[in-house]
Amino acid sequence: MTTRTILGISGSIREPSTQQTILKTIGEMLPAGTRLSCEAGIARLPWFNPDLDGEGSEAPPPVKQFRERIREADAVVISTPEYVFSLPGVLKNALEWTVSQEVLSWKPVAFVIASASGENAFASLEVILKTLTQQAVPADCRLLVRGGRGKFSGGALTDPQLRSDLENLTRALVREMGRPRTG
């Protein structure tokens, strides 16, 4: 039996972070034959510069590695906070590096915004992912978690409603992985 892989990307580079705990929790909810592999390298990516990736140039090694991790994954799940009513710069930068290679095109994606408010980051990531994946992220693969930090204690999820919401998102993403893709 072939193991399917979901690449988890945290929009927070903090150690430890609510986002990493959310991704870990999702990983624990996956069915047999599916595993979560977390991407911790977005902090190593240089600032996006099309001149470093255009005609006659080769992307820097961390960018090539990041793209390859996405390309090899069967799906992607992103968990991120909202900073100053927007996506964290490090996450936006990572997503910008995927544009020219279209590594997210037609790939199943889910995302969680866990922040005090989160509406602006949620709307922004929804638009960005629709552009990068060339499809809308299904409603049940998107989750806005207000007050995320208060739902965890000692690095573990303690909120039963959030556990249920994450289980639903996880099931939806696994279901999306089984659907045929166009593109």
Mean pLDDT of 32-46: 91
CATH number at residue 65: 3.40.50.360
Give domain status of residue 81, yes or no.
Answer: yes
Give domain status of residue 182, yes or no.
Answer: no
Computed over every residue of the chain, the mean pLDDT equals 93
Number of domains the chain contains:
1
Any bridge partners for residue 83, and if so which? 86
Give domain status of residue 122, yes or no.
Answer: yes
Asked if the model's pLDDT at residue 56 lies above 90, the reply is no
What are 124-149's pLDDT values in tens digits? 999 999 999 999 999 999 999 998 88
Give domain status of residue 183, yes or no.
Answer: no
Is-contact 18 149, C-beta < 8 A? yes
Pairing of strands 152-153, 156-157: antiparallel
Give domain status of residue 84, yes or no.
Answer: yes
* Cβ neighbours for 46, distance < 8 A, ≥ 6 positions apart: 52, 60, 62, 63
Cis omega before residue 16 (within 30°)? yes
Helices (H), the chain: 18-29, 61-72, 89-96, 119-133, 160-177
d(CA 18, CA 87): 15
pLDDT of residue 57: 82
pTM of the predicted model as reported, rounded to 2 decimal places: 0.95
Is-contact 143 165, C-beta < 8 A? yes
Host domain of residue 16? 4-177
φ, ψ of residue 179 in degrees (nearest 5): -85, 145
